[in-house]
Amino acid sequence: MKKNIVLEEMDPLEIYGAGNKILSEFCKHFPELRVVARGNELILDGKQEDIEEFTMKFAELVDRRKHKMNLTPYDVEDIFDADSSPENYKLADDAPIVHGTDGKPIKARNKTQQQLVKAYFENDLIFAVGPAGTGKTYIAIALAVRALKNREIKRIILTRPAVEAGERLGFLPGDLKDKLDPYLQPLYDALGDMIPTRKLQEFMQDGTIQIAPLAYMRGRTLDKACVILDEAQNTNLGQLKMFLTRMGANAKFIVTGDASQVDLPHKEDSGLLKGIKLVKDIKGVSTIMFTNEDIVRHPLVSKIVKAFDKHIDEEENNE
């Protein structure tokens, strides 16, 4: 059986890669199929089932190229990973969530991150709580980027409470956006690892990706979106309720925070753990608890966190 595939409105080099490197990697998965590339046309010769699978997978490759600046061999690997689809992903602990702008796979790096990935595919509201450096927000953003690339959602919305962490907003230079951007910078950084700069700018200009302080969520209904509330320990119970009730149809909400790093004037005002206690038994809600053992930053970070926690515990015991 023979079949021709024609690439329309796209330079073949964008799909085949320099020296046909991407196409060659792709064709390795079809050892019994003869594939000849002539300009923007591919000529297939072989068994019908091989041709049908090649056509389907090649369409995925073309679609993937539309969502990123360059294809890499990792993209081919991801397409042929049987467990990389949303339906099967929860069974593949080592499968890539998404590929970074450098082509390297971004995946869960420990058991707790794997639990977060699994929870995402089984629930619509996930709480990820634990120390800084455990990768909870980074993995959450990777899951959101994957969903956007797979067209499972239409928007990514990232938000943080604009709480002063040792600084006062009024003393910072610039307008409101300038004052808030330092608080949101970690979210920009994570997105920049996963989406090429030019594409990220386009997404932010057309509203596909939105980064805003929590106060801007009031009155909105967020549907067909993955919405991430970061630094949730700095919300009170009323603010957390306001955020959670923004959930619309076909939405995923992820709430991340570190209950030991509350920047509110009165730490007891934090609504994170109170909110989790109220909703943890509701079907469709999952809570993932990270510990110091899950820290994936520099090895010193884990030791620093333990030292500070020990000091705080000693002070509380002496009171």
* Cα torsion 232, 235, 238, 243: sign: negative
Q: What gap in Å lies between CA 233 and CA 302, rounded to an integer?
A: 20
Three-state secondary structure readout of the chain = CEEEEECCCCCHHHHHCHHHHHHHHHHCCCCCCEEEEECCEEEEECCHHHHHHHHHHHHHHHHHHHCCCCCCHHHHHHHCCCCCCCCCHHHCCCCCCEECCCCCEECCCCHHHHHHHHHHHHCCEEEEECCCCCCHHHHHHHHHHHHHHCCCCCEEEEEECCCCCCCCHHHCCCCHHHHHHHHHHHHHHHHHHHCCHHHHHHHHHCCCEEEEEHHHHCCCCECCEEEEECCHHHCCHHHHHHHHCCECCCCEEEEEECCCCCCCCCHHHCCHHHHHHHHCCCCCEEEEECCHHHCCCCHHHHHHHHHHHHHHHHHHHHC
Q: In what order do the strands lie in the sheet with 209-213?
A: 209-213, 155-160, 225-229, 252-257, 125-129, 285-289
Going by DSSP bridges, is the β-strand pair 225-229/155-160 parallel, antiparallel, or unpaired?
Answer: parallel
Kindly indicate the confidence band of residue 68, based on its pLDDT and cuts at 50, 70 and 90.
low
Lowest mean per-residue pLDDT among 87-91, 142-146, 218-222: 87-91
Q: What is the mean pLDDT of the chain?
A: 85
Burial 291-314 (b: 16+ CB within 10 A, else e): ebebbbeeeebbebbeeeeeeeee
Q: Are 115 and 288 in contact (CB under 8 A)?
A: yes
What is the mean pLDDT of the segment spanning 244-268?
Answer: 90
Q: Which of 75, 62, 28, 35 is nearest to 51 (CA)?
A: 35
Residue 302 has a pLDDT of 67
pLDDT (tens digit per residue) in 300-317 = 776 787 788 777 777 767
Kindly indicate the confidence band of residue 173, based on its pLDDT and cuts at 50, 70 and 90.
low
Which residue in the block uniquely carries the two structure tokens 């500070």? 308
What is the mean pLDDT of the segment spanning 8-25?
Answer: 88
What is the mean pLDDT of the segment spanning 18-45?
Answer: 92
What is the mean pLDDT of the segment spanning 267-292?
Answer: 93
Q: What gap in Å lies between CA 244 and CA 292, rounded to an integer?
A: 27
Q: Which of 223, 263, 217, 207 is nearest to 239 (CA)?
A: 217
Which residue in the block uniquely carries the two structure tokens 């038994």? 281
Is the pLDDT at 185 greater than 50? The verdict is: yes
User: What is the residue type of 143?
Assistant: L
pLDDT (tens digit per residue) in 127-144 = 999 998 899 999 999 999
Is the pLDDT at 172 greater than 90? The verdict is: no
Residues 6+ apart with CB under 8 A from 151: none
Radius of gyration of the chain (CA): 23
pTM > 0.75: yes or no? no
